[in-house]
């Protein structure tokens, strides 16, 4: 399957989901991310401190080309800064009509991150999109405790 066709299918599925179920689409995709975390990594260490959990989370995300290159930018006030460079979701912004990080499909990655971090640390967290630097093709997100 060509890259364009794959991206088009994903973008159109996200657009259709948004059009048919509206705001509930965010919850559906986050829930899907939870399932994907459990399928991708059925066995993870648990009970880790936030910094160690963050490091393993980044390792796991880097195993999957879907997220591009992921790195942890550090911990400030209990919040973990994470950067995603060349994530394939940035390639479909023209197809979805939404800016990178604000696309509905990004909710899927948020769910994967939240569930994986929870499984590693036992801590429930949320992912917040901060900004997208188009020149660096990098998305900046923050993981923070709920």
Q: Give 36-94 pLDDT, tens digit per residue.
A: 999 999 999 999 999 999 999 999 999 977 788 999 988 888 899 999 999 888 877 77
Q: What is the CATH number of domain 3-145?
A: 3.30.1380.20
Q: CB neighbours (10 Å) of residue 35? A: 12
Whole-Å CA distances, 44 to 62, 92, 133: 15, 31, 32
pLDDT (0 to 100) of residue 26: 87
Confidence grade of residue 30 (pLDDT, cut at 50, 70, 90):
very high
What's the rounded Cα separation, in Å, for the pair 4 and 9?
A: 9
What does pTM read for this prediction? 0.88
pLDDT (0 to 100) of residue 21: 87
Beta strands in the chain (DSSP E): 69-76, 79-85, 125-133, 138-145
Confidence grade of residue 3 (pLDDT, cut at 50, 70, 90):
confident
Whole-Å CA distances, 37 to 32, 75, 78, 119, 127: 9, 23, 23, 9, 15
């Amino acid at each position: 399957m060509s890259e364009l066709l794959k991206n088009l299918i994903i973008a159109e599925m996200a657009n259709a989901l948004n059009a048919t179920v509206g705001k509930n689409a965010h919850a559906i995709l986050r829930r899907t991310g939870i399932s994907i975390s459990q399928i991708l990594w059925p066995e993870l260490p648990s009970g880790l401190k936030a910094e160690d959990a963050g490091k393993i989370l980044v390792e796991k995300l880097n195993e999957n080309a879907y997220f591009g290159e992921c790195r942890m930018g550090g911990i400030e006030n209990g919040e973990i800064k994470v950067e995603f460079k060349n994530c394939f979701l940035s390639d479909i912004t023209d197809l979805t009509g939404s800016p990178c990080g604000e696309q509905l499909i990004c909710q899927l990655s948020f769910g994967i991150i939240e569930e994986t971090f929870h499984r590693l640390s036992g801590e429930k967290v949320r992912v917040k999109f901060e900004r997208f630097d188009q020149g660096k093709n990098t998305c900046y997100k923050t993981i923070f405790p709920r």
